[in-house]
Amino acid sequence: MNCYKSNEKLFTPGPVEIPEEIRAILGAQIIHHRTPEFKQALIDTRTLFKKLISSESENFVFFASSGTGAMEAAVINFFNQGDKVLVLNGGKFAERWLELCKTYGLDVVDFKVEWGETYDKDALKNAIEKENVKGVFIQISETSTATYHDPKFIGNLLKDSDTLLVADAITALGTYDIKPEEDGIDIIVGGSQKSFMLPPGLSMLWFSEKASKRLSPKGYYFNISKELKKQIEGQTAYTPAIPIILGLKKSLEMILNEGIKNIEKKTTAISKATIKAFEKMGFKAFSKNPSISVSAIETPNMDAEAFRKELLKLGIRTAGGQDKLKGKIFRVSHMGQIDAISTFSVIQAASIVTNTSKDVLEEYINTVKALCVD
């Protein structure tokens, strides 16, 4: 008999739990996409998205795809075979940039950093200057290692050049206060199942005026020029992910109502408190420069997969490590409607498994109290 588990709680870095207000929209009878109703909904959603990223530019599109689709669109629409680019390679999703660029014949400079670490500024600057690259590809939040790579330093480095900064913000948009124009990001991609609290199936791609001069679409479905022309008018080139776009409208309203600055501040407090609590259990943060969207916890004296199974018995589903990190770390999401109280349930479950309840809970509570101040 399981005295603990009731409904399973998702603390995975995508998909995240979907709030009731959004589930109501997703579960409603579908509307047709060639109607005035959908047209207005898409225009309204675009307006809200511009508010989120503090930009008046219409240079962005939504695709019916996972975030990887928008990543692929970034490669094929702005770069040509033989172009030299640099990939900041520090995790499983950075490797995806590497694979996409090589698939389309780009000349890739593989700038490796240790998993769990961020880039050395001088080394990166020297590599960019030496190689004379046309693009720099990064993850703002490398989900596989829960590591943050600051885009602002790179954006400032590239601002007076023709080199494009291409950022995977799939686990950053909607949690971090990202202003691509201000931060010097030229192309930014996102996905629906992370901070936007939606099912998988919708991606987004925004691009700067500098990037627009390099726009040379070569895809059929992922043709940005064709899609953008339609979406500005409230339509799409092909059948869109209708319920998810309607859900995104509600999601953006919720995020903007809470305030992205407040969300970033709240998430910072929760992520720091989570790491401190796990350190009290004898674990440690894997990343030396942690993302606030997700925490990667290293389990030195325990198999991480076994620990995850014990948490799952208590109704807490976390994510495991990928590739060489499998069995060494587990990951806890802080995206979406997760707050200090809901995350407390993860700490409670972990403290039951490790039999370290009192001190751990006090550490978490005290850290939250210290950081969650107006």
| Domain residue ranges of the chain, discontinuous segments joined by + | 9-16+260-371, 20-258
> To the nearest 10°, the Cα dihedral for 265, 268, 273, 278?
170
Angstrom distance (rounded) from CA 235 to CA 101: 30
Nearest to 178 by CA among 169, 166, 187, 191: 169
Structure tokens at 135: 């693009």
Give residue 77's pLDDT. Answer: 98
Each residue of 315-364: pLDDT tens digit?
A: 999 999 999 999 999 999 999 998 888 999 999 899 888 888 767 767 77
Scored b (16 or more CB within 10 A) or e, 339-354 reads ebeebbebbbbbbebb
pLDDT of 373 over the 70 cut: no
pLDDT of 4 over the 90 cut: no
Contact 311, 331 (CB under 8 A): no
Which of helix, strand or coil describes residue 258? Answer: helix
Give residue 2's pLDDT. Answer: 58
Within 13 Å of residue 73, how many CA atoms lie on the same side as its CB?
30
Which of helix, strand or coil describes residue 173? Answer: strand
Categorize the per-residue pLDDT at 177 as very low, low, confident or very high, splitting at 50, 70 and 90: very high
In terms of CATH architecture, what is 9-16+260-371?
Alpha-Beta Complex (3.90)
20-258 fold: Aspartate Aminotransferase; domain 2 (3.40.640)
Radius of gyration of the chain (CA): 21
- The terminus-to-terminus CA distance of the chain in angstroms comes to 44
Angstrom distance (rounded) from CA 233 to CA 43: 7
pTM as predicted: 0.95
Give residue 206's pLDDT. Answer: 98
DSSP 354: H
Each residue of 246-283: pLDDT tens digit?
A: 999 999 999 999 999 999 999 999 999 999 999 999 99
Contact 49, 73 (CB under 8 A): no
Q: Which residues contact 341 (CB under 8 A, 6 or more apart)?
A: none
Angstrom distance (rounded) from CA 293 to CA 197: 13
Q: Output phi, psi for 316, to 5 deg.
A: -115, 115
